[in-house]
């Protein structure tokens, strides 16, 4: 009995250690460099096989609007929107905060394909999960 409890306990610990961390990136800055920094780090996490979820709020939500003109950032000469599209293509979950669309007078159809309005209860539940690391820009 003690031996099987020990084995079960060890297997449970191994599962916790083996579980991949997740990265939650919240971006609210209007600054292209801050937006770019958050999106670049999210991309690096995806390359390391870490699941990524991005929440765009306030002025950063504009990055997710179709047809946005944005400055290209050096050294790669890519815009924050191009970085965002790369994240979407790589499998990141991207949302705009629930307040963004109604307060900007926009609709979900104004967003890039793959970007959705966030549901606050879902975001809060995600943030409470063990192993979720957060970054804010």
Residue 36 sits in a domain whose CATH number is: 3.40.1260.10
CB-CB neighbours of 86 under 10 Å:
16
Name the domain count of the chain.
1
Asked if the structure places residue 18 within a domain, the reply is no
Per-residue pLDDT of the chain (137 residues; tens, 9 = 90+): 544 443 344 344 334 334 459 999 999 999 999 999 999 999 999 999 999 999 999 999 999 999 999 999 999 999 999 999 999 999 999 999 999 999 999 999 999 999 999 999 999 999 999 999 999 99
At 51 the pLDDT is 98
Question: Tell me, what's the pLDDT at 20?
Answer: 55
Could you tell me if residue 129 is inside a domain?
yes
9: exposed, middle or buried (C-beta count within 10 Å: 0-12, 13-18, 19+)?
exposed
- pTM of the shown model: 0.85
Specify if 11 maps to a domain: no
In a domain, 70, yes or no: yes
Q: What is the pLDDT of residue 74?
A: 96
Tokens of 22: 């997740």
Q: What is the pLDDT of residue 116?
A: 98
Q: What is the Cβ-side half-sphere exposure of residue 54, based on CA atoms within 13 angstroms?
A: 34
Distances (CA, A) of 50 to 27, 54, 62, 116: 18, 13, 25, 21
State CA 57 to chain mean position distance: 12
Please tell me whether the peptide bond between 10 and the residue prior to it is cis, using omega within 30 degrees of 0: no
pLDDT at 5 (0 to 100): 42
Range of the domain at 84: 23-136
In a domain, 48, yes or no: yes
Is position 17 within any domain? no
Whether the CB-CB separation of 24 and 128 falls below 8 Å is answered with no
């Amino acid at each position: 009995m003690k031996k099987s409890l020990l084995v079960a306990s060890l297997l449970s610990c191994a599962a916790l250690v083996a579980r991949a961390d997740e990265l939650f990136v919240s971006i609210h800055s209007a600054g292209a460099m801050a937006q770019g920094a958050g999106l670049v780090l999210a991309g690096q996490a995806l390359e390391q096989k870490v699941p990524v979820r991005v929440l765009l709020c306030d002025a950063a939500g504009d990055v997710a609007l179709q047809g946005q003109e944005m400055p290209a950032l050096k050294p790669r000469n890519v815009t924050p929107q191009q970085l965002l599209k790369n994240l979407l293509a790589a499998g990141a979950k991207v949302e705009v905060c629930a307040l963004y669309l109604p307060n900007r007078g926009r609709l979900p159809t104004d967003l890039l394909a793959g970007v959705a309005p966030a549901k606050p209860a879902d975001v809060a539940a995600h943030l409470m999960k063990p192993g979720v690391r957060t970054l804010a820009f």
